Amino acid sequence: MKSFYITTAIDYANGSPHLGHAYEKVLTDVVARFRRLMGDDVYFLTGIDEHGQKVQQSAAKRGIEPIELCDEAAGQFKELCSSLNISNDDFIRTTETRHKDVVRSILQDLFDRGEIYQAEYKGFYSARAEQFLQEKDMVDGKWPEIFGEVTEITESNYFFKLSKYQDWLVEHIKTHEDFIFPRFRAKQVLEFLKEPINDLCISRPKERLEWGIPLPFDEGYVTYVWFDALVNYISAVGYGTPDFDKYWPVNYHVIGKDILLPPHSVYWPIMLKAIGVEIPSSLLVHGWWSINGDKMSKSTGNFIEPSEFVKEYSVDALRYFLIREMSVGQDSDFSDELFTNRYNSDLANDLGNLLNRVLTMTPRYCGETFPARTISEEPEKELEEAWANTEGKVVELYEEFQFHKGLELAFAFIRSINRYAEQRSPWKLAKSEDQKDKDTCATALSLMAEALRRAVGLLEPVMPETTVRVYELLGYKSDAPWLERLKPSDALTGAKVGEKVILFPKPQQEKK
RNA sequence: GGGCCUGUAGCUCAGUUGGUUAGAGCAGUGGACUCAUAAUCCAUUGGUCCUCGGUUCGAGUCCGAGCGGGCCUACCA
């Protein structure tokens, strides 16, 4: 069995889940589920990043211990995962021993190899903001009020030698076209690497930052941001143990476009290279959601609470929208109107209503089980042909992360089932006394159910609950591998027709 | 300053290595039908493919310039 390791970025504990987090989880989950269905041994990791100044500050402000704040955040993000039906195999927290041990061992290793050195850092420090300021923070050549008193100080810190690996990294990106997906993102990285890169400051003195992992070779410091956070990807799969190479190197790190450069495309590969570990196979870089055309931002408060949509509609409805509407890598817009349109026309009208038609007509005209199909004429052949043109293509599109296009094709097929229903009009045939008409009627209803069975199979990576639900309602049971379940079959013949249900109810429309 | 992405019907987007009358879904309009969540099906309206110039027998597709939008360069998924 081929192993397949995939991760999301870890979310920062000092914040609440919003649509962006939800999307990344769902996207990664869809890939993970798809690979599982394709027979891979999948390990899917997500988690949160708990150290750092902001967590320390927020906790202090609320008068609680940092770890208490992290426990809260961990709860929230785990809740997000379960409410989105995320199938992660692991959830890592950077305060866990298994993680801290790996971080310290890597730091020690690099220190011993001479890849980390101590140097003086000189800069303008704001005591109020507890951070060094950059020139860009200046307004009209002055430090703004909010920083309070700013003084130039010298601080000793530890640095990681990034620059010596720059040429190697450029070469690697140039020769590995699938290292960064979508490919246009790689251009940005290469552009960045045309300039010499600076060594990376990886420490903070404990007086300034307490909430972190102490450097093993100098307990007066903690490590800062990336040497802590990025390492989660290997600490979760047993770096340093014999099991490590079961899943490493990772197949995909799924990340937002904001943390591609420099952390995931520069720091992380170089860190791994420096400790002699294989670097990630690929970075899957997604875009951002805007809300009603505006950038999602803390100041305008236009955050979308994913849980609201799950509550109002369903998990699968939200998952469907997120995956159907966004082309992986590009940005996309989220609005109530877009959501409602998708929900009503695709899910409720095309898919839900079709199921409803099948579940209503079959018992009425044919009895409690799906009858055998005995007729195969032009309409049947056309529908089968439509399926033949759909199935393989959708799987192919999924493999290329073109989920939105895959779903588009899947729903085009669902519409052709509706079209077939009109052509055959079982409700008319049922009134006929003619045996041929009765056979055609039975065939039509049975084929509609069968076609629907295959169609919802295609939706499984994106809408797992829906697939299972429809299978149940069609009386379909199978342990067969996914690709086999997508094949035409007689499995429904004789299967018991389920109770009539409304799969995707439309919320009460407001009266005007 | 440098760089990346993007600009195709009212809306969201497809348009493969340049090749005949530019496509889909939604929305709109007309019709059919009644099994169904006023649903589905059929037909149909709608486009100077941002602008200008170039290469070519031929460009939405390639090249150049410009304009608009988003973003990176500068730790928000």
- Measuring from the CA of residue A423 to each C1' atom, give the nucleotide at the shortest distance: B41
pLDDT of residue A72: 95
* Residue numbers 260-299 of A with CB closer than 7 A to any atom of strand B: 261-262, 286, 288-289, 295-298
**What confidence tens digit (pLDDT) does each residue in A65-110 have?**
999 999 999 999 999 999 999 999 999 999 999 999 999 999 999 9
**What confidence tens digit (pLDDT) does each residue in A360-419 have?**
999 999 999 999 999 999 999 999 999 999 999 999 999 988 899 899 999 999 999 999
DSSP class of residue A467? H
Residue A303 has pLDDT above 60, yes or no: yes
Percentage of the residues of chain A whose pLDDT score is greater than 90: 71
pLDDT of residue A124: 80
Confidence of residue A261 (pLDDT cuts 50, 70, 90): confident
In whole angstroms, B5 C1' to A158 CA is 37
Angle at the Cα of A19 (from A14 to A20), degrees rounded to 5? Answer: 70
- Measuring from the CA of residue A404 to each C1' atom, give the nucleotide at the shortest distance: B13
Chain B positions under 7 Å from a protein CB? 2-6, 11-14, 24-27, 33-37, 39-42, 70-77
Choice between A15 and A460, residue whose per-residue pLDDT is larger: A460
In whole angstroms, B46 C1' to A413 CA is 26
DSSP assignment string, A171-205: HHHHH-TTSEESTHHHHHHHHHTTSPPPPEE-EEE
* Beta strand extents in A330-423 (DSSP E only): 332-334
CA A110, distance to chain mean position in Å, is 32
- Measuring from the CA of residue A427 to each C1' atom, give the nucleotide at the shortest distance: B35
* Residue numbers 484-503 of A with CB closer than 7 A to any atom of strand B: 502-503
Q: Determine the average pLDDT of the residues in A434-460.
A: 97
Summary mean pLDDT of chain A: 91
* N-term to C-term CA, chain A: 58
- Whether nucleic acid strand B comes within 7 Å of the CB of A121, the answer is no
- Measuring from the CA of residue A11 to each C1' atom, give the nucleotide at the shortest distance: B77
- Whether nucleic acid strand B comes within 7 Å of the CB of A312, the answer is no
pLDDT of residue A70: 96
Q: Determine the average pLDDT of the residues in A187-203.
A: 86
**What confidence tens digit (pLDDT) does each residue in A175-185 have?**
888 899 888 88
- Measuring from the CA of residue A188 to each C1' atom, give the nucleotide at the shortest distance: B4
Most confident of A32-41, A49-58, A303-312: A32-41
The pair of three-digit structure tokens given for residue A323, joined into one six-digit string: 């995956």
In whole angstroms, B64 C1' to A191 CA is 22
* Residue numbers 130-169 of A with CB closer than 7 A to any atom of strand B: 131, 136
Q: Determine the average pLDDT of the residues in A153-178.
A: 89
pLDDT of residue A140: 61
Beta bridge partners of A215: A218
pLDDT of residue A510: 41
- Whether nucleic acid strand B comes within 7 Å of the CB of A23, the answer is yes
ipTM for the whole complex = 0.91
- Measuring from the CA of residue A134 to each C1' atom, give the nucleotide at the shortest distance: B74
DSSP class of residue A271? H
Percentage of the residues of chain A whose pLDDT score is greater than 70: 95
pLDDT of residue A299: 60
Angle at the Cα of A246 (from A240 to A248), degrees rounded to 5? Answer: 70
pLDDT of residue A149: 76
